[in-house]
Amino acid sequence: MLEYLFIGLVGVVVGGINGMAGGASVISYPVLLATGMSPVSAAISNALGVTPANFFALISVRHKMRDYFREYKKLISISIIFSATGALLLLNVPPGVFEKMVPFLLLAASLTFLIKPKPVRGIRHELMEKIGIAASGLYCGYFGPGQGVMVIAVLARDIRRDPKTLNMAKNLIVGWTSLVSNVIYLFSGKVVWPAVLALLAGASIGGTYGGRYAARMPAALYRVLILTVGFGASAWLFKKYYLS
């Protein structure tokens, strides 16, 4: 019982950070591993448990959802397709194959956030944005933690998007993407439901408050938060897959 209470408390923290920036599910993943789950079960249970945080974080901008969805529906569709592909890979490919790439993907996503955004949008920019979102969708379906950082890093290349817009778009894209891959996970037979429910309850609470605060967060603080989570998650993954 205490084990699941702790998972729920971790969920509150993860949901709050995911609602503001993303990438915090890398915190809950090792916690689930520590309970004795297999890496695949931990990844699947983690994904199912933290997904609601992205939707609850949208409560503060719910009156604008229709317009935002219309603007980002192409990117959402691309991300969903590749997320479904990633989820199928997770269930059918040896676990170690893609996991060796995960630290590099997350680090690259974080580093791109340091590049000064350009105000000019063109065909090349839109193509690169779609490729970046597709890559983040594949990553989401296969592993998950850090996808929010990747999505923000891609979207931030357009200087016209302020922190509030970036956070909203990230929650919208990641939320729908995760929802589709989660449907595939439900039929995998690898879900640990008590852990999922505990994480889900905590992440829903944290995500609600995280989304509200992100809308009022100064741009500089928002940038620091994303870089901190991104580099921290990358360091943990490098240690896990290359130094342990």
pLDDT value, residue 96: 72
**pTM (predicted TM-score):** 0.78
Name the residue among 192, 158, 169 with its Cα closest to residue 29: 192
Dist. CA 101–CA 80, nearest whole Å: 20
pLDDT in tens, the chain (244 residues): 788 999 999 888 888 877 776 667 777 888 888 888 888 898 899 999 988 777 777 776 777 778 888 889 999 999 999 999 999 988 888 767 767 777 887 787 777 667 665 555 667 778 889 999 999 999 889 888 778 888 888 888 777 777 778 878 888 898 889 889 999 999 999 999 999 999 999 988 887 777 666 666 676 776 777 778 778 878 887 887 788 6
Dist. CA 177–CA 183, nearest whole Å: 10
pLDDT value, residue 145: 76
Chain centroid offset of residue 109 CA? 12
The pair of structure tokens assigned to 199 is 């994480």
Dist. CA 102–CA 18, nearest whole Å: 18
pLDDT value, residue 113: 67
pLDDT value, residue 194: 95
Give the bridge partners for 118, in sequence order.
158
Contact (CB, 8 A) for 240 and 43: no
Please count the structural domains in the chain: 1
Burial class (CB in 10 A: 0-12, 13-18, 19+), 111: middle
pLDDT value, residue 73: 93
Dist. CA 151–CA 129, nearest whole Å: 9
Domain enclosing residue 225, as ranges: 2-243
The pair of structure tokens assigned to 116 is 């000064």
